[in-house]
Amino acid sequence: GGSDVCRESSEMILVDNNFTTIVAAIEEGKGIYSNIKHFLRFQLSTSVAALSITTFCTLSGLPLPLNPMQILWINIIMDGPPAQSLTFESLLPDQMRDPPRNPHTPVIDSTMLVQITTGAMIMVFGTLYTFISSLHSSSSSSSLASPSSPHHVDVNDSALSTTTDHVKYAQTIAFTTFVLFQMFNALNCRGKQSIFKLGLFTNKLFVYAISGSILMQLFVVYVPFFQFIFETESIRIRDLITCVLISSTVFVFEEVYKKFFRIKTERDRSL
């Protein structure tokens, strides 16, 4: 009778009180909780960045750097394979040394909030920089190349068409930069440790997801059928390299942050 009362009043019942089973259960719980945080961080940083870019351009009167189809594509990538593959990360051995988590601590703590905000802001500034600089360079080259002779006809129609093409090209660069930002940000969200210590190929599903997403993005930019659907243009190789370099800044910043965080953690543990 007493045991039944204890079962009804308990929040948790141990069916198997073997110590090895308890350790395995704790490890599984820590892994699930950690992967939930990885998933949320990736989702929120992408959403905040996309919303901030759209809001800024709307309020400032700039053309939107992402059209509706491109935003839909970003959402498919965000909710698709890369995000799902983050839930298959294995628990690192040193994570079992972490103290028990307070059940009242929110999932999105102050550290995670800073990571989401800083990552999103880097993506916003980088995407807007590529978009605005591409618009300026295109308009400058257009003004130099456009004829000013009065003997030419349909100048206004030609200028309008050229301006539209320049906006589309700048949108394609911004679109590609933002998608590559997501790929690098997904690397950041794999864990608290550096990707070089964690291992780039330890999560095979993640590697397949990132590789497939990059390949599909190249299809969207360079294959005529997808260009028609997503309103993109083939971008020059040098512009593609620029997109890669700028989007990698979110990864470089995170690696530097993790390096300092690891040094601080090791120093605190030694005290």
pLDDT in tens, 80-103: 888 888 888 887 766 777 777 787
pLDDT in tens, 215-236: 999 999 999 999 999 999 999 9
Higher pLDDT, 118 or 154: 118
Question: Tell me, what's the pLDDT at 160?
Answer: 39
pLDDT in tens, 43-71: 999 999 999 999 999 999 989 999 999 99
Percent of the chain with pLDDT over 90: 48
Checking if the pLDDT of 149 tops 80, the result is no
Question: Tell me, what's the pLDDT at 166?
Answer: 85
Question: Tell me, what's the pLDDT at 84?
Answer: 87
For residues 244-252, give the mean pLDDT.
96
Side-chain-facing half-sphere of 97: CA atoms under 13 Å: 6
pTM higher than 0.95 for the full model? no
Dist CA 165 CA 123 (whole Å): 24
Q: Please name which of 157, 74, 82, 167 lies closest in space to residue 123, comparing C-alpha atoms.
A: 74
Checking if the pLDDT of 155 tops 60, the result is no
For residues 203-211, give the mean pLDDT.
92
Q: Please name which of 244, 219, 238, 215 lies closest in space to residue 229, comparing C-alpha atoms.
A: 219
Name the average pLDDT for the chain.
83
Checking if the pLDDT of 154 tops 50, the result is no
Question: Tell me, what's the pLDDT at 107?
Answer: 86
- At a CB cut-off of 8 Å and minimum separation 6, what does 216 contact? none
Higher pLDDT, 56 or 155: 56
